[in-house]
Amino acid sequence: MANPFAIFVLFLIFVIIGIIIYYIIENPDILNEFLSITVIPASSVVTPASSVVTPDSSEVTPASSAVTPASSAVTPTAAVTPTAAVTPTVTVTPTAAVTPTVTVTPTVTDTYDKKTFFIRHKLSGKYLEETSNTVVLNTKNINNKNQQWTFNKYGTGNDYYYAITNLATNNYLDYNGTSVYTGKYVSDFPKWKYDGYDLHNIKTNKCLNANSTGTNLYGSGCGNEYQQWIAEDDTGKAPAPAAVVATPAPITDIYDKKTFFIKHNNTTRYLEASDIVYSKYKNIDNKNQQWTFNKYGTSNDYYTIKNLDTNKCLDCNGTNVYMGNCGSSYQRWKYDGYRLKHVMTNKCLNTNGLGDVYPSSSCDDIFQPWSVEPVIL
């Protein structure tokens, strides 16, 4: 009777041989390397191209120290030719992590900080005035300190606000969602943003507003002509633009004819487009996330924003944001390094964590922060 153990061993050997044969059939290069002659004359060595990374000298065996075959050794025939596989393939990988930092805005001194102004409602021509902790609009009186307001800035960059105090009473300008008034505060001062146009109360997310005759003062959603406020001196002039610090030459427009990724700072998602507009996480190779700004106008500057992949422009009808063939007046956007504001509707571009992109009637710097990152083409 046959030995079971011997049968098992023979079966195992056949299985191993079968696996080896299958592997060689699937990987013929293995057989070529096994059958090639390993002794290669020095004259037939192929020198890799100069782009090949050379190992450290400590790892290279000098030719003089190589083991020389004995004179009785078999001399390889002239037919020995090094295989083409000797030439290594060099893959050049760009350093994607090196992204140049572009300063979007030059360093400037603040136009309003620690300065005192009359605050004029542009439409009615009347001025903010404090009267017994209430705020009204009145005709200008340059000797009336109740019409003079001091701006004090807190915070840096786009994360800033002003506390606005009355020169006569040192009370703070405030709005509680119903009334505009003044009060004294030890901490948690009323916070306002001011861009030379809107007086924006941060806590309520409303802008200071008044009717055309200046008889009614209140707060409402931002973005209409009744919310234009001009801070001016006693001669009726607005302050000069903030001086640019250490700028040797006039500043050219930093966005015009340049291509960027557009990042929503709160969600860290990037604006992307096909036929629709949405936001996704950054992909540096995705041209759907690359946008070119083209500037138009002089005093009322605006941009059209064209997608590099679709060749269409960012468009808005007041309800939806979408892509359209370039040339429509509804493709005009203002950008101040922070907000993307639609010129025709006065609404600001917004997105959420789900990737939806939409226009928002409330243009609040805190909730619509967009920054741009340069695309290296």
Query: pTM for this structure?
Result: 0.40
Assigned CATH for 258-374: 2.80.10.50
d(CA 238, CA 299): 16
What local confidence, expressed as pLDDT, does residue 158 receive?
A: 67
Domain 115-232 identical in fold to domain 258-374: yes
Residues 6+ apart with CB under 8 A from 203: 175, 190, 191
Under CATH, what is the fold of the domain 115-232?
Trefoil (Acidic Fibroblast Growth Factor, subunit A) (2.80.10)
CA atoms within 13 A on the CB side of 318: 5
Q: Are strands 115-121 and 229-232 parallel, antiparallel or unpaired?
A: antiparallel
Q: What is the DSSP letter of 114?
A: T
What local confidence, expressed as pLDDT, does residue 364 receive?
A: 67
Instruction: Going from the first residue of the chain to its last (377 residues), give the mean pLDDT of each consecutive group of 10, the final group possibly shorter.
Output: 78 86 74 54 42 40 39 42 46 43 52 92 92 93 95 80 93 92 81 87 90 87 78 78 51 84 90 93 93 80 92 94 92 89 91 89 73 86
The gap from C-alpha 321 to its chain's centroid, in whole angstroms, comes to: 19
Q: 143-151 — which CB contacts under 8 Å span 24+ positions?
A: 144/168, 147/118, 148/116, 148/117, 148/118, 149/116, 149/117, 149/118, 149/119, 149/173, 149/231, 150/114, 150/115, 150/116, 150/117, 151/112, 151/113, 151/114, 151/115, 151/116, 151/117, 151/194, 151/231
Q: 302-305 — which CB contacts under 8 Å span 24+ positions?
A: 302/332, 302/333, 302/334, 302/343, 303/255, 303/256, 303/332, 303/333, 303/334, 303/335, 304/331, 304/332, 304/333, 305/262, 305/331, 305/333, 305/340
As a whole number of Å, the end-to-end CA separation of the chain is 80
Per-residue buried b or exposed e for 16-52, using 16+ beta carbons within 10 Å of the residue's own CB:
eeeeeeeeeeeeeeeeeeeeeeeeeeeeeeeeeeeee
Sketch the domain layout of the chain as residue ranges: 115-232, 258-374
